[in-house]
Amino acid sequence: MTARQPQPQPQPHQQPHQQLQPHPHLSPPSAEVSPVSTAPHPGSGTPSDAYAGAVDHYTSPSRRDWVKREWEEPELVRVLDVAVRASASARVSAPAATLDVLDVGCGAGVALELLRATPSLRSPDAPSVRYLGIDLDPELLGVAAQRFGDAKTRFLQADITDGIPDAPHDLYLSTGVPYSHLTHDELREVVTDVLRAARRHPRPTVLVIDVLGRYSIEWTLRWGQTRWDYRMSFFETDQEHSSTPMSTYGGAELDALLRQAAEVAGCELDRIELVDRSLVVGRHTATGEYTPGLRNYRQLLNDLADPDTLVEVADLRLGDVELPDAPAAVTRFFAGFVARWDARIEDAQAEARGRDDREVAAALQPALAEDLQALELAAQPGLGVGHSLTATVVTTPGG
């Protein structure tokens, strides 16, 4: 058993390119990549600048740490399942045999793997998925095409700001915050375009809009801004990568933007659901780049779940994180959340007193990791207080 020592800021390192293994429920690779556009993200420079090393990162075995596998991916599967069920439940009277999906900013196809793992699409009566993934990065698209594919799966190099594909889709999907590359006005225009297409669709349309949360503990120095230079400095690579302008959103801001887009498009919305994801475990807790002195909570929780590693549990406290001024709802949320989190830490410290270190590491700490995970998952107010803020938007049939 090893005691966890204070860790220096992580240095990027080279990971060998390894082909990711398909999920057991996925079809063998056969998809084609069709070049359409090489335009950069608006204001971001070429994809190779900001996303240098992305292939290294997405093919690195270490990317899928315990937090990714057991915390973030299950939550994203839940969000995607909500979207699939929303699409299905809204058309019970005329169920479709095929779910048409457009994945914006699909990258290496991570969302497709998780989408296919949703309970709704693994049931015996689930519709088949006709999938189109679009992205600007040809290397990531190449990884996606190698990993996945069947007759109903395609990948295109394209820029969503150039317009959406003409054929309407049932589900417009995004994960990995691709829409944060756009300015607020550009996002409003894209969503308006999608909702205009939704009006022509005989079935309800579901949008999953994934953006960076404005009030994450990962970037407290930037809470006063809604667009700033962001670096993917957590990538598992030794390649140099530049910063790129990214937009962040509070929940009220994103909700208002979506409703404005619907009004311009003349599209009636059934509902908007907002959730925050990765409140404490976001990737930039490992870099501390935008919050001075921030502890590496992601690594601490990875270690906490490891029965062979003893963690200084007091390091997991959140009360020491200095939070700037914010809207009243955000301030109230953090006051309650931090109090509950730190109370559980104090309980764990009391439980560990007088216990053998091996017992603490093997039993008490993994249980604490699960409790903290449950606490975070129960606290998702949709205020923009996590790494990601995700909106699920459901239109009425025919918009």
Query: Mind listing the domains of the chain with CATH numbers?
Result: 13-285+382-395 (3.40.50.150), 297-377 (no CATH)
- pLDDT value of residue 94: 56
Query: Which of 259, 288, 246, 283 has its CA nearest to residue 387?
Result: 283
Q: To 5 degrees, how large is the angle CA 236–CA 239–CA 240? A: 115
- What value, to the nearest 5°, has the Cα angle with vertex 248 and ends 63 and 190? 100
Cα dihedral 321, 327, 332, 334 in deg (nearest 10): -30
Lowest mean pLDDT across 61-70, 324-333, 336-345: 61-70
Per the DSSP assignment, residues forming a β-bridge with 104 are 134
pLDDT digit string, tens, across residues 226-248: 999 988 765 444 556 668 899 99
pTM assigned to the model: 0.84
Residue 353 neighbours by CB distance under 10 Å:
7
User: Does 194 have pLDDT greater than 80?
Assistant: yes
The torsion region of residue 56 among left (phi > 0), alpha (psi -120 to 50) and beta comes to: alpha
What is the pLDDT confidence band of residue 322, given thresholds at 50, 70 and 90? very high
- What pLDDT band is residue 372 in, cutting at 50, 70 and 90? very high
Q: Which region among 17-21, 133-137, 260-264, 329-333 has the lowest average model confidence (pLDDT)?
A: 17-21
Confidence of residue 96 (pLDDT cuts 50, 70, 90): low
Q: Where are the alpha helices (DSSP H) in 315-361?
A: 328-352, 357-359
Mean pLDDT taken over the chain: 84
**C-alpha dist (Å) from residue 379 to 272, 334, 385:** 18, 10, 10
pLDDT at 398: 60
219-254 burial by CB neighbour count: b if 16+ within 10 A, else e? bbebbeebbbebbbbbbbbeeebebbbbbbbbbebb
Q: How large is the C-alpha radius of gyration of the chain?
A: 21
